[in-house]
Structure 1
Amino acid sequence: MNYWTSMEWGTDMVKYSDIHRAIVGKLKAKFPNIKISSTDITEGFDRPSFFIEFDDMKSTDFMREALDRDFTVRIYYFPKEKDKNKVEILNMEDDLNEIFIQDGVISIDAETAIEIDELELEIVDKVLQCSFDVMISENYDRVDDTPNIEDIEIDNI
């Protein structure tokens, strides 16, 4: 499980789009010539290419203090050749391990990062599927405006 916590009150919560953008940036840095598609791929797409989706998304409240979010990131890699692509896929598996496990961090912004400690790689219908789980726990951006008690009067004391 990958975990990130915001401990500062008053900071903006991380958006799913921020995480997506950071993953795209990480892939583009390593693979500048491979297209990253932003729409669901069914047919008529470029090869090679990536497609990223978030799956199994769950949000829960933690003691009225924090928002916990769990989800799975799935990265699909469509190799250059639909057939005869075993070596290409093996090389891509090595590259994905390098950028997500060896590096181990997805930087969202200057103060926020997600650590990756486990990567699942499998081939389904000649498409490489890379996935990892993320858990984010962030304090709510709330201002406590409850007045403080100044004097307490207790009878007979």
Structure 2
Amino acid sequence: MVLYQDIAKAVTMVIKEAFPNIPIYGDEVREGYKTPSFFVGIMPVNSINHTKSIKEEQLLITVSYFSNTTESLKNYKVMQELKVAFGQVLSVDNRRFIIQETNTEKVGEDGDNYQFIFDINYYELASSEPDGELVKEIIYN
């Protein structure tokens, strides 16, 4: 089972490797941060039970960038570097998730906040519990 916190840690590590001097926060931080900074958010979007034991999960990953400049070219460069850093695969522990589509958008009134957004889809075992009692003894004649 893939835990959301493991995905958040993997996303944070990608950002930290690409931008070692820029602080990274969770999306629960609302004040007291310095710019430039990144904020990581994970939103479960969909959970579909395909069978009794297999489910499909979809998560939306949001990386918000709060810049310390209104110079668009510098901010575009950060967004491009972020896109390159993530590439096409997000590695989480022993699993690899394909990043099929990414989006970048400018947010906020000041024009110096950006979001890099992508989603991942993956399958998991819905339950590892057996349906009934396990056989303990077989008598064969």
Q: TM-score range by the shorter chain?
A: 0.7 to 0.9
Equivalenced residue count is: 133
Which structure carries more relative contact order (alpha carbon 8 Å, separation 6+)?
1
Given the two structures, how large is their TM-score scaled by the length of structure 1?
A: 0.74
Aligned to 2:120: 134
Q: Partners in 2 of 1:146 and 1:140 — Cα distance?
A: 19
Give the C-alpha shift of residue 74 in structure 1: 0.8
Q: Partners in 2 of 1:21 and 1:93 — Cα distance?
A: 20
Map residues 70-81 of structure 1 onto 2, 5 A cutoff. Answer: 70-81=58-69
Aligned to 2:91: 107
Q: Which runs of 4+ in 1 moved over 3 A?
A: 41-44, 143-147
> Can you give the 5+ residue segments of structure 2 that lack an aligned partner in the other structure?
none
Larger Rg, first or second structure (1 or 2): 1
Q: Partners in 2 of 1:14 and 1:76 — Cα distance?
A: 23
Map residues 4-153 of structure 1 onto 2, 5 A cutoff. Answer: 13-81=1-69, 84-100=70-86, 103-109=87-93, 111-125=94-108, 126=111, 127-140=113-126, 142=128, 144=130, 146-147=134-135
Q: Partners in 1 of 2:92 and 2:46 — Cα distance?
A: 20
Q: Given the superposition, is the C-alpha separation of residues 124 and 57 from structure 1 closer, same or farther in structure 2, using an over 3 Å criterion?
A: same
- Deviation string for 1:21-78 (max 9, x for gaps)? 0000111011110100125343432111000112253323221111321121111001
- Deviation string for 1:63-115 (max 9, x for gaps)? 1111321121111001122xx23122110121022112xx3111111x21111
